[in-house]
Amino acid sequence: MSQTERESRSEATAADLRLASAVRSKDRKATAEFVEAYADLLYAYLAHRLFPNMSHAEDLVQEVFLTALQNIGGYGGKSSLRSWLLGIARHKVEDHYRRVLKESPMDDVETLEIESAEQNEDAGFQDYERARAAEILGRLREDYRLLLRWKYWDRKSASEMAAATGKTGKAIKRALSRARAQFRKRWEDACV
């Protein structure tokens, strides 16, 4: 992506400012144009972050638009509408992660052999093929999938996750260890 393309994605254009102003003044046609222009982008972003729970992505797209419409008065054009909406979407994903992880008991009902869970906990994840990793992530239970995404994609620490979910740091670390072990086991099973 060229410098000009990056700038056009991060800076508000005159069209962004006009559209935001029209939406702010409750222009129904502009609001429909706003939703139509960004719905596919938001859905793709959210679906990627929440795979395989597409129903959650659809719900979060609606939440993003509701939040955006409620707060369009605060849009000052410091960034493009696209960037502003993706920022809202990122926060909605984090809220979703927090909700799911707060409700999760963090107890593992399955017995797994985790003899080396503490060794090389970060090793190899960055080198895995994206498609294969996404497919394996999609087969994990939701709380494990979200913990791994939060840890490795959003680079959240266990203490940040604990603070966001109301769980203890120790509970998050144990759940991360189990999630990594399940991922690793499924990865190895797929290689056999």
Q: How many domains does the chain have?
A: 2
The structure tokens 């509970």 sit at 171
Domain span at 167: 125-191
Q: Where residue 168 sits, what CATH number does that domain have? A: 1.10.10.10
pLDDT at 149: 83
Q: Residue 62 and residue 101: Cα distance in Å, rounded?
A: 21
* 81, 20 contact by CB (below 8 A): yes
Both 99 and 129 in one domain: the answer is no
- Taking only the tens of pLDDT, the chain with its 192 residues reads 444 444 445 678 899 999 999 999 999 999 999 999 999 999 999 988 887 667 788 899 999 999 999 999 999 899 999 999 999 999 998 888 888 777 766 554 443 333 334 334 444 444 445 677 778 877 888 888 888 888 887 888 888 888 888 888 888 888 888 888 888 888 777 766
Query: Under a CB-based contact definition with an 8 Å cutoff, are residues 143 and 101 in contact?
Result: yes
| Whether residue 52 has a cis bond before it, omega within 30° of 0 | yes
Q: Which long-range contacts (CB under 8 A, 24 or more apart) does 55-64 make?
A: 56/96, 60/89, 60/92, 60/93, 60/96, 63/92, 64/88, 64/89, 64/92
- One-letter amino acid at 17 equals L
Residue 185 lies in a domain: yes
Q: Is residue 110 part of a domain?
A: no
Alpha-carbon distance of 19 to 168, in angstroms, equals 45
The model's pTM: 0.59
Helix ranges (H only) for 25-168 are 28-50, 54-71, 81-103, 130-139, 142-152, 158-165
- Give yes or no: residues 7 and 93 share one domain: yes
Give the domain CATH number at 96.
1.10.1740.10
